[in-house]
Amino acid sequence: MPIITEARVVVTSPGRNFVTLKVVCDDGTTGVGDATLNGRELAVASYLADHIVPCLIGRDAHRIEDIWQYLYKGAYWRRGPVTMTAIAAVDMALWDIKGKVAGLPVYQLLGGASRDGCMVYGHANGATIADTVDAALRHRAEGYRAIRLQCGVPGLASTYGVARPGEAYEPADGTLPTESVWSTERYLRIVPELFAAAREALGPDIHLLHDVHHRLTPIEAARLGRDLEPYRPFWIEDPTPAENQDGFRLIRQHTTTPIAVGEVFNSIWDAKALIESQSIDYIRATVVHAGGITHLRRIAALADLYQVRTGCHGATDLSPVAMAAALHLGLAIPNFGIQELMPHLPVTQAVFPHAYRYADGSLHPGDAPGLGVDIDEALAATHPYVRAYLPVNRLEDGTLWSW
């Protein structure tokens, strides 16, 4: 059995900040796990280095479930994004090790492939509706069958999801939080126009998605869902902040537009009521922020009982390690829905060599033993950490709002 002899926490910034855990065993086998929590990276790095790593040394790396329970229950202070991201990194690394020792890709350890590949959705964004539709047409030409639409809001200097011209979208844009201004009224006017133009240009067969990003009240979200019904969205995401889970019942009373939520969730307890009440259609919790493969598998299994499918978060602040782990789980579970794909920059991909590949609108994790991804620590060391925060949002009168 592979005994853990070392675990290194690697903080690096190839294009953006990432935290990675590398676990080393006495037989030389290594495993990697993503520990990136956008805007709070060093909190997880410390949680791992100062509190978890000392407890891992000498343990049997094959005892994934036991180590998961040890780190979850042993912390006493259960759940939360920092704790569950740290546990997730250990979990991913141990699955990586188990696959390498078995000589099998992790999806084979999870029951084998349930599909040929994982359908992905790409991001089409632009300052205007026309720019966004053009970006969507480019994505269709690249084979994407599902495309997220985010456009600028007339009268607002910036808004979520829209990159600066000529740049890849990166929300963590300042060494202190930048401030943006929000107007629900302006937003609710433009999104139906965006979907009407996109559906007209793309036809009926492309899945169209949209991220509301926690910014509406339940009744406003219900109105948006109803206004978009003629354009048949695949989903509206994070329509309202998910602390108020009863709000989703209210949305459900008014619209059949499918709902996705959960990228900020970190345990099954965040999702349980929404899934069991069938208030959502897709759960977006991820391997990196919701306790790893071991825990996300539980969330997916609960969701499957209620015909809720996965739609995992996959922004560039989740590293290629998280993407690899997500694809192994996504290939195996019965209720995979869709996987978000924001391609990482070349400078990021160089630090994280990986086996997963894109083809015809889908990703496949590849058949390398383990997760099929690694971190080049020497190259990582050439990209020092730079503190970066996600923005904050205010209404036009200055009221602090959800970003």
- Asked whether the beta carbons of 319 and 34 are under 8 A apart, the reply is yes
* Rounded Cα gap, residues 237 and 257, in angstroms: 10
Does 16 engage in binding with ligand CS2 (CB under 6 A)?
no
Q: Which span sits near ligand CS2 by CB under 6 A: 87-95, 241-249, 311-319, 377-385?
A: 311-319
Does 41 contact ligand CS2 by CB under 6 A?
Answer: no
**Binding-site partner at residue 315 among ligand CS2, Mg ion, none, CB < 5 to 8 Å by type:** ligand CS2
Give the H/E segment covering residue 187.
helix 184-202
Nearest approach in angstroms of CB 403 to ligand CS2 is 8
> In the numeric block, which tokens belong to residue 138?
């480019």
Residue with tokens 């053009």: 134
Compare residues 10 and 315 and give the one whose CB is closer to Mg ion. 315
Site track 201-220 with ligand CS2 (rule: CB under 6 A), x = hit = ----------x-x-------
Q: Does 339 bind ligand CS2 (CB under 6 A)?
A: no
Long-range contacts of 160-167 (CB under 8 A, 24+ apart): 160/211, 160/213, 160/215, 160/403, 161/123, 161/125, 161/211, 161/213, 162/125, 162/126, 162/127, 163/125, 165/127
Q: Could you tell me if 95 and 109 are in contact, meaning their C-beta atoms sit under 8 angstroms apart? A: yes
Please identify, using beta-carbon distances, which residue of 100 and 207 lies nearer to ligand CS2: 207
Count of beta carbons in the 10 Å neighbourhood of residue 335: 17
Q: Within positions 270 to 289, which residues make up the interface with ligand CS2, using CB under 6 A?
A: none
34 binds ligand CS2 (CB under 6 A): no
CB of 340 vs ligand CS2, minimal distance in Å: 6
Segment lying near Mg ion (by CB under 5 A), choices 35-43, 147-155, 211-219, 350-358: 211-219
258 binds ligand CS2 (CB under 6 A): no
Q: Which tokens sit at 35?
A: 């520990």
112's tokens: 């084998």
| Nearest one of 257, 305, 265, 256 to 283, comparing CA atoms | 265
Distance CA 232, CA 349 (A): 35
Residue 320 phi/psi, 5-degree rounding, is -55, -25
Work out how close the CB of 171 gets to ligand CS2 at its nearest, in angstroms, rounded to a whole number: 5
- Shortest CB 335 distance to ligand CS2, Å: 20
Q: Which is nearer to Mg ion, 97 or 124 (CB)?
A: 124
Q: Which residues are catalytic?
A: 160, 213
- Name which of 281 and 340 has its Cβ closer to ligand CS2: 340
* H or E element that contains 133: helix 129-141
Exactly one of 52, 136, 259, 315 binds ligand CS2 (CB under 6 A); that residue is 315
| Contact with Mg ion (CB under 5 A) among 211, 220, 227, 270 | 211
What are the residues binding ligand CS2 (CB under 6 A)?
38, 171, 211, 213, 263, 313, 315, 317, 340, 390
